[in-house]
Amino acid sequence: MTTTKFQLSHFTWAATAVVALAIAGNSAIAQDKVQSKTQDQTRDQDRLQDPIFGSQLMTDAERNEFRTHMRSLKTVKEREAYRLEHHKLMQERARVQGITLPANPPAMPQGAGAGTAGSGMGAGSASKK
């Protein structure tokens, strides 16, 4: 009878280990999903706070480089010239990919100077006439 108890205990231990591994695996999957969702929310929040024309056609690195370059420019005239250059680049990228973007670059918002948090880049829908 000791053998049966040992076999039952061994079976119980093995079953417990399998259940524990399954729970740990599900926890890791859930944690990955939460991390992915957090990254998506952060990226979306960045786009809303600092929208860049054609950002949907850009990589994260390109968006970061664009923001850094805009912040480094000293005058409104320099920023406007860079925005227009960027608009042309995004128009060409969109054309190659078969995507339509607004023909005219968005207007630079009031207060989009060197010291502001945003770069002043809109998505094109709120441009002033």
Q: CB 5: neighbour CB atoms within 10 A?
A: 9
Contact call for residues 120 and 109 (beta carbons, < 8 A): yes
In the chain, the number of structural domains is 1
Instruction: Please report whether residue 52 resides in a domain.
Output: yes
Q: Is residue 73 part of a domain?
A: yes
Structural domain contains residue 21: yes
Question: Mean pLDDT over residues 82-94, rounded?
Answer: 95
pLDDT above 50 (res 123): no
Q: What is the mean pLDDT of residues 33-60?
A: 73
Mean pLDDT of 25-43: 69
Given this model, what pLDDT does residue 129 score?
Answer: 31
Residue 79 lies in a domain: yes
* Residue-wise pLDDT tens digits, 7-19: 557 667 677 777 7
Q: Is residue 45 part of a domain?
A: yes
d(CA 98, CA 102): 13
Residue with the larger pLDDT of the pair 50 and 102: 102
Mean predicted lDDT score pLDDT of the chain: 74
Higher-pLDDT residue of 9, 125: 9
Query: Is 42 among the domain residues?
Result: yes
- pLDDT at residue number 114: 43
| Residue 115 vs residue 65, higher pLDDT | 65
What domain range is 17 assigned to?
2-97
Q: Residue 55 to residues 18, 40, 44, 69, 127: CA-CA distances in angstroms?
A: 46, 14, 11, 15, 16
In a domain, 119, yes or no: no
